[in-house]
Amino acid sequence: MLSEAEIATLWQTQGKYFIENGSGSYMDWLTSKGTNFTCYIQYLNSLDDEKKIGNVVDTIRVILYSIHKPFKFLFFYWTIVIFILHKFNFKKPVVKIILAHFLLRASGDTLDKLGGLWSTYHVNSLTRDETGKIIEYGCKSSGNIHPFNWFLTRQIGTICWYVGEMFGDWYPLLRTKAVIRNQRKIIIVYVACGIFNLSKLALIILHFTFSPTELYDKNGEYAINKANMFYFTYWMIQLSIIYASFFYDFSVFYVLKKNIFNEIQMETGFVKNFKTISEYRILVSAIISVVFLPIVSITIILKYYYYFKYNYSNLNFSFDDIRQSIANVQYYMIFIDQILLLRSHGGSSISSSSQQSTNNNSKIKYNKSSNNLSLSGNNSNNNFKYQNLNNNSSYMDNKLKISDHNYYPDTNRNYNDFNFGTLTNNKKKNYLLLLKKC
């Protein structure tokens, strides 16, 4: 128990850090310790030696956990895998995007963890009667929002989180630009990406409209009504972000399908297409958004309904885990897309190398005057029949593509030593090569 002399000394040294009249400058609130000095004295009197040691241990733990936080980041190991696959070539645009995405979002997580250093804030806890009149003053020291904690985690941290997400959001646009050179064809993707980023910018701005100076009212109590209105707007913007995400995914899907994938021969089966075609990976992200959009929309509508009709302000309609799952799917797809693209390119290289070694004695001859093409080789099985492309159409259904020329197999022979699969679908292979250069 503190003596009168000790309390007087504390008031002289610490009293300036308590804002008991509800008024103070911005810096006063950030450096404050509470809104009631008496609550601070009660808190100190409640501490024994064990609790004091526990507080020191908690402080050390928070610092260590903050240092460790980047390694616990959801996409940390995915990021390292991509860096390894790209041989740490940070000149590539896609690697720059992934690096910025990691650094900013991990920084946001670190700041959020550091906020635990400001876990106590000594404020009034008021009891009111049915008419709203204050009948009792109490104290509350834990579980409160420290103004500096709000500034650090909900303002600066939000900048890191959502700007980091914006960098990741540019990946589909970058990928689309790589395969569609005509920029007019992808205007809708630019617009959708802009709307998506603006919705996140709106969320960042929203956090700065609720200042640390407004967290507590003139009675030194948490401003619950202001906080409720803030979170109503917060969830509306979060809902708009999810809708904007779906629109963005759909725009990329539509543009790629219209300009690229309609010209590529598709494999049969969703799994095969998912492994080889980026369109299907984007489709997965869009489907997940569509599935959970009604759930999130209904919860937000219900929150508004019960608040304005019945004045129920403490109902917890937060489904933040679902929101984060929806938001993170598209970032998982960045890493999955890169891994599968690099794997597809590697597989194509191996196949091409195998074909070259198997058929190193084969020759392709083209007669320009007669428009004939023939393929011959030392292997007795590698016999191909040449046809006039202008006059014969009986083989059109079996044509294979090499660059811009067509040649046709003699269907009466067996070609065990020639791999037709490696020669088909050059557009798909070129598409994969373009994406790898991103």
Q: Which residue has the tokens 């099985």?
A: 381
373 band by pLDDT with thresholds 50, 70 and 90: very low
Residues recorded for the chain: 438
Domain ranges of the chain: 4-350, 363-436
- 3-state SS record for 228-270: HHHHHHHHHHHHHHHHHHHHHHHHHHHHHHHHCHHHCCCCCCH
- Residues 137 and 148: beta-carbon distance below 8 Å: no
pLDDT top residue among 311 and 239:
239
pLDDT top residue among 356 and 177:
177
Listed in sequence order, the DSSP H helices in 311-425 are 320-358
User: Can you give the pTM of this predicted structure?
Assistant: 0.76
Torsion angle of alpha carbons 69, 70, 72, 74, nearest 10°?
130
- pLDDT one-digit tens code per residue, 56-96: 999 999 999 999 999 999 999 999 999 999 999 999 999 99
pLDDT top residue among 135 and 101:
101
Give the residue-averaged pLDDT of 387-407: 37
CA-wise closest residue to 248 among 323, 181, 176: 176
- Residues 342 and 88: beta-carbon distance below 8 Å: no
pLDDT at 98: 96
- pLDDT one-digit tens code per residue, 235-265: 889 889 989 998 998 898 888 888 776 555 5
- Residues 33 and 40: beta-carbon distance below 8 Å: yes
pLDDT at 178: 81
- Cβ neighbours for 394, distance < 8 A, ≥ 6 positions apart: none
346 band by pLDDT with thresholds 50, 70 and 90: low
Which stretch of 11-20, 279-288, 406-415 has the lowest confidence by average pLDDT?
406-415
396: exposed, middle or buried (Cβ count in 10 Å: 0-12, 13-18, 19+) = exposed
